[in-house]
Amino acid sequence: MTSTDTMTLWASARVTELLDGQNGIPPTYGTAEWQRLAANDPRKAAAILTAAEMWRRFGDEEALLDWFREASRPRHGLAEGKTLAELDALAKPKPPRLVQATSGWPPVAIPGRPGWYRHLVDGQQVELPRGGSEGAA
């Protein structure tokens, strides 16, 4: 059992104790109906515990409502998306990029040639073995 489960069970047990013998469910915390309850009315305390538990479990009510609004926002239909041919074209492998050294960056390892690196020397792409960077910039 996690600490969250323990807290949920504790809050539930307290609310059950407070509402034992009471009629109906307590009014929502902070509403006019809740404010009209006597200070020692157990429904008032039950509403406070319920609100605190909801906050602990779900956070800010407005943020939760915003999440629900976003989750239920209409989305574009499938017909408005890419066609299968467009998706297939996007999935095709792209041609490999040329390995190029860049000014101000370290030399680039050359795929398929272990120990060889591409350097930029006097504006030219130069392949040199590891440690062969004499004159490389």
Query: Does the structure show a pLDDT above 80 at 127?
Result: yes
The C-alpha atoms of residue 46 and residue 28 are separated, in whole angstroms, by: 10
Helices 61-71 & 42-58 angle (0-180, nearest 10): 50
**How do residues 53-78 score in pLDDT, each as one tens digit?**
888 887 877 887 888 898 888 887 77
* Predicted TM-score of the model (pTM): 0.44
